Amino acid sequence: MTSVDEKSTEKRGARGRARGEDSRASVVAAALKSFAARGYFGASMRDIAAEAQIGLAGIYHHFASKQELLQAVMTVTLRDVLASTRARVAAAPEDDSAAQLDGLVRAWVEFHTVRQEDARVGASEVHCLEGEGRERVIALRDEQEALFVDVIERGVERGAFLTPYPREAARAIINMGIAVATWYRLDGDITPHGLAERYAALSLDMVGARGQDRGHSPE
């Protein structure tokens, strides 16, 4: 095979992989919509195939079962929100705990305003997970909680936060953000940015941020 033939084969392979990834992503997106509308037990593989506008064989080409699909939906959601929240913490000054928490809460709340289906499925269907898939999803949830706990505990150690209950504060802030997905409307009278700003202020109050330490994170 000539070098030209090899390059042509590589390009065809790359295009095929890209199409496969797009197809898989469309199946995951369809599963999310079906689970959000009908619940895990109420949604069938046929419902998901219809939502994705492909045949059942197309679903089973990527996923062996509905359980695998639920695990994929939750894994995508958690990885996305972890990436977003970590990035906002990293963007804040390393020695500014208030700015780190401000950015963390803003990212968390904004996610729950614009990715409401993801958030609702993640909260309501986690009990349906099984086996190793459940363990992987729970591990990602634990990583997210640990990020909140770490930011708040370091703030307490530095004297920036006065709360004697950093872990409890972290859980309260997390749940406050999760609840947003149950009531927030994008066509309401407050934007995702505006709501995130308010929740960040509430969170800083909750941890007892000192007045001079109530900075804002980089946008």
pLDDT tens column, 68-84: 999 999 999 999 999 99
Mean pLDDT for the stretch of residues 121-142: 95
- pLDDT at position 12 is 44
d(CA 115, CA 100): 22
What residue has token string 């990602």?
Answer: 140
d(CA 194, CA 110): 9
- pLDDT at position 118 is 95
Q: Which of 146, 141, 148 is nearest to 122 (CA)?
A: 141
pLDDT over 60 at 213, yes or no: no
- pLDDT at position 22 is 75
- pLDDT at position 23 is 85
pLDDT tens column, 176-197:
999 999 999 999 999 999 999 9
For residue 209, list its beta bridge partners: 161
pLDDT over 90 at 15, yes or no: no
C-alpha of 87 from chain center: 13
Mean pLDDT for the stretch of residues 197-205: 98
d(CA 32, CA 26): 10
- Binned at pLDDT 50, 70 and 90, residue 34 comes out as very high
Tell me the residue length of the chain: 219
Higher local confidence (pLDDT), 100 or 8: 100
- pLDDT at position 11 is 47
pLDDT tens column, 152-162:
999 999 999 99
Q: Which of 74, 85, 96 is nearest to 214 (CA)?
A: 96
Show the domains of the chain with their CATH numbers: 1-63 (1.10.10.60), 65-219 (1.10.357.10)
| 3-state SS class at 161 | strand
